[in-house]
Every structure is written in C-alpha cells, then in structure tokens.
Structure 1
Amino acid sequence: MKKNIFCLDSDVILLTGGAGLLGSQYTEVLLESGATVVVFDINAESLNTLENRFSNMYKNKIFTYKVDITKESDILNAKDEIFNKINKYPNVLINNAAIDPKFDNSSNINKSRLENFSIDQWNLEISVGLTGAMLCSKIFGIEMAKNNKGVIINVSSDLGVIAPDQRLYKKENLSDFEQDVKPVTYSVIKHGIIGLTKYIASYWADKGVRCNAFAPGGVFNNHSKDFLDKIEELIPMKRMANIDEYNATIIYLCSEASSYMNGAILNMDGGRTII
C-alpha cells in the first residue's frame, strides 16, 4: 500500500493563535490527521477550553502553552518545555496569531481611521502579527534547518494580496471621518507576512525547510445583511467562506502532499482576488 501523503502521524505541529475562531478549527483537523499539536495563545481561558475539549479524545497529542509571541524569552522558554515534554521540537510551524481589529464606537473619534490611528496600536498589532511570526520562524526554523526538514506556514489574507475595499464598512448618515475602515495595520501585516514567507523560503531551502503563505478570504461569522450584500458582490462565488472550508488546505500545506511547494502564496477566497 502506498504511503498516505496527507498523514501527519509523525509530525509535531506548532500552531500560534490556536485557540481562536479559526485556530481551534485547525487544531481539531490536525489532531484528526494524526499530528501532535502544540498550541500557543495569549488567552489562558481559551487555551484551557481547547485542551478540555480535545485532551480525552487525543491523549498526549495536544499541548497548550500561554505564550506572548512578541517576547523572545517567552518563546524560548516554551521551546524548552516542549522538548522536555515531547523529546523533540516541532517540525511544522503555522504562524496564525494576529490581533483581529474590532471597530470601537465608544468614542466620537474613530480610531480605526488612518488620521487617528495611534502609534501604540500600530506597535501592538505589528508586534503580534509580524514580529511574532518572525521570532517563531527564527527560533523553531533553526531546529528544522539542523534536522534538514521542516515546514513553515504563514497565514496571510486576501487583503495581503489586494487592498481593502473600505466601501464594505460604510454606513449611511455618517460623515467620511466617522466611517469605520479596515485599519492600516491589517494590510501592512498581511502583506508583510508574504514578504517574510518569500525570504524564509529562499533562506533555508537548501536545509530542507519549506515556507508557504496561505491567503484566505473572510469567514462568515454572523455578519450583518448589509455587509454580506456588499461583499458578495466582490466575490465571484457570491459568498464568504464557511468556518471549516480551510481545514483541508492546512493539512495539504503541512503534509508531504505539498512537498514541492515553496515560497508560494495560496489564495483561497472564492475568487475575490482575480477580479
């Protein structure tokens, strides 16, 4: 019988932001595919919920750590703990952690707009979404390179390929300066992740480490009808993604099925970026 190239039985996969909306989906499908899954997240409560959900069914296959990936010391300490517990380092890294920007309507000043965007918020979001990905790639990529085998997956977005269409967020009866917008950090981070991907893909290619970017479109999560009507006009398939539609793509990128894929940006957005 031929080897199942989608099997992850021998893999230790580190997933950052693994307790979030999509992260928990990825955690489940990776466990189902046989992987040992190490989850980093900053939210201790969500990590506890995740571990309680899966630990009985996948005994000794899921390990959760509260880690601030903006702090190199936090990542290094967790790296040591992982080795002490599993006796090896992750051979697959999924850089999924990011701060999901939320609109704040509690003030007369719309802080999402570029005119009002604070340097503190800029630094915070960049440090998680971009610096954190670089630090995790550096720290765990070193070990992959030593072993001449590894995979790094960076989660970008359709908005890492195109600019946000701010008309999606526009509301009637508000002036231009009151309108919500997708913040500048989101575009910078998701475009930057693609740059990081290309850099790593060439940097460690001779060491057997592959690096690819995944650029998903938006996922339906109880959005308003007004928003759905607008965004569906921008997507040839006329809908947002369902919450589980990216799971198989994650398995593909982690597995030997994508063994000749390196430095690629895999768009999966219902066709939005082709228009």
Structure 2
Amino acid sequence: MEKADCLRMFELNGRTAIVTGGLGILGRRFCEGLASAGAQVAVVDLSREETAAYAAELEVRHHTSCIGIACNVADPQSVRQMVEQVDSELGGIHIVLNNAATKSDDLEQFFAPFEHYSLAQWRRIMEVNVDGMFLVAQATGRKMIDQGSGGSIIQTSSIYGLLGPDERIYEGARYLNASINSPAVYSVSKAAVVGLTAYLAAHWAPHGIRVNTLTPGGVFSGQNERFVERYAARVPLGRMAHPDELVGAVLYLASDASSYVTGHNLYVDGGLHAW
C-alpha cells in the first residue's frame, strides 16, 4: 500500500462525531483532533453556551461543521434529544467518543476514605460514569443500526479501571487545593467501561459497529510537583502524559486505520500497565 493511501485511512471527511465530556481536559483535545481530521463534531457537555462557543472556534479553525449541545448523559430524555439533534443538524452519526465522567463538585466527599464513603456519593458518580455511558452507547448504537452504515464507538476508561492505585504516590499529593487519592468508585466505574465495551463489540459486530476502549494513564493537569514526581517514577517512560498525546489513539480508533479492530482496550499510559 502506498504511503498516501495509508494516510488517507485516517481521514474523517464526511463523518459526524459525538464527543461527550467535550469541554474537559481531554474532551477538548479529542474534539480538536477529530475536527482537524475532517469530521463534523458535536461538542456535548453540560453548558449550552460553552459548548456552542467551543464548536464555533472549531469551525473557524478547521472549516468543518461543528455544533455544541448541552446534555446530561445520566438523563435518558436528554441523551435521546442530543442524538436526534446531531442526526438532524449534522446528518447521521458515525463516530462516538463516549467520554463523559464526573469526579463530583464535592471533592471532600469524592476523596473520602473507602471505609467512610457515602452511598449517596457512590451513586452520584456511578450515575454519570456508568449509567451515562450505557445511555449514550444505547442511543447512538441504535441510531447507527438504523442508518445501516456501521460506525466506531470509543469509550474512555482509566488505568485505574484495570490496576489498583499505588497509594504511596498520593502521600502529600494535591490538586485544586485538595488532598487527593484515587477512590474506589472511580476504579469500579472505569472497570465497568471495559466490560461494556467487550459486550457491545461482540453484540454489534454484525451491524459493522466497532466498539473499543481507550485507557489513559495519568495526564498532567495541574497536580502538584510531589505527585508528578512520584507518579513519573512508576512509569517506564518516566513522566505523565500530556493531553494531546491521547489524540492520535482516538483518531486511529475512529478511522478506517482500525477497520479490523473491535473489543480492544488501547492503553496510552507510558507503559504503566507493563510494570
């Protein structure tokens, strides 16, 4: 195969992509990368004004149609309306980045010790991280089946959905002026993503719908120096990821470059899972 043909496999011209959690640290990069590859992008998050503003920026930079949609992924009606709006305004759904997740507005409750973790807080996280992922996958997968043209669904997990956290890393660690750890609810919710992906990959394969998991390791987003140093010491490549380093994996899984890949869990973690 010629080099030019290989590169064309990554092009997304004429395809529509949904990115939930589109205003997050990774979500914004995913939207940018998909738009740069030619996709029409629906930026989906909680704020109507902010998603619309970011979609407008993408249109200017990449000369492709983009829209912003406010959606609560834990609300079935909100998800249905989002899917119908994307289909109506952008013409079909071909790529879904099922990426929305929450770490709660109440950091003290979110980072509480397991022995004292409240069931109410547990359920608030699960409602978004698991129920929301189910609802988005269900609604978009149904639309892809109706279209009859297949598609690619990429679901974001985390290295801590596959591995237990090394709690020594978190001694003295802070983020947004709060002491941090990796709570069990986060690990359990992200482990569920991998199971859902495997199920859907087998279930929807006859419809030409590929479903894969993207599993990032630690991504630098303002953690204090103590945490960054300790985390880096646990990673073969010796550092945390930069948000842009996840984009190539998304473009691969979204495009024809991965046309024979489904049910896969793609680690982008600097080798952490290998130790």
TM-score by length of 1: 0.90
Secondary structure at the aligned position of 1:266 is classed as strand
| Higher helix proportion (structure 1 or 2) | 2
1:97-136 to 2 correspondences below 5 Å: 97-100=100-103, 104=107, 112-136=112-136
Change (3 A) 1:104 1:2: closer
Q: How many pairs does the alignment contain?
A: 266
CA shift digits 1:155-200 (9 cap, x unpaired): 111112111122221239xxxxxx7531111101110000000000
Secondary structure at the aligned position of 2:73 is classed as coil
Q: What's the CA shift for 1:11?
A: 1.0
Q: What's the CA shift for 1:121?
A: 1.4
Q: What's the CA shift for 1:148?
A: 4.2
State the identity %: 29
RMSD of aligned C-alpha atoms? 2.2
Secondary structure at the aligned position of 1:85 is classed as helix
CA shift digits 1:71-114 (9 cap, x unpaired): 1111111222223222x321111111001357845xxx885211
Match of 1:176 in 2: none
Match of 1:12 in 2: 16
Structure 1: tracts of 5 or more residues without a match: 173-178
Contact conserved, 1:112 with 1:180, CA < 8 A, in 2? Answer: no
Match of 1:167 in 2: 168
Contact conserved, 1:41 with 1:66, CA < 8 A, in 2? Answer: yes
**What is the rounded CA distance, in whole Å, between the counterparts of 2:110 and 2:94 in structure 1?**
43
Q: What's the CA shift for 1:222?
A: 2.4
Contact conserved, 1:103 with 1:112, CA < 8 A, in 2? Answer: no
* 1:153 is the counterpart of 2:154: yes
Secondary structure at the aligned position of 1:270 is classed as coil
Match of 1:189 in 2: 189
Change (3 A) 1:110 1:258: closer
**What is the rounded CA distance, in whole Å, between the counterparts of 1:76 and 1:59 in structure 2?**
28
CA shift digits 1:131-169 (9 cap, x unpaired): 111111111101212314111110111112111122221
Match of 2:75 in 1: 71
TM-score by length of 2: 0.90
Match of 2:176 in 1: none
Match of 2:201 in 1: 201
**What is the rounded CA distance, in whole Å, between the counterparts of 2:142 and 2:162 in structure 1?**
28
Q: What's the CA shift for 1:229?
A: 1.8
**What is the rounded CA distance, in whole Å, between the counterparts of 2:106 and 2:270 in structure 1?**
25
Structure 2: tracts of 5 or more residues without a match: 174-178
Contact conserved, 2:172 with 2:227, CA < 8 A, in 1? Answer: no
* 1:272 is the counterpart of 2:243: no
**Paired residue type of 1:65:** I
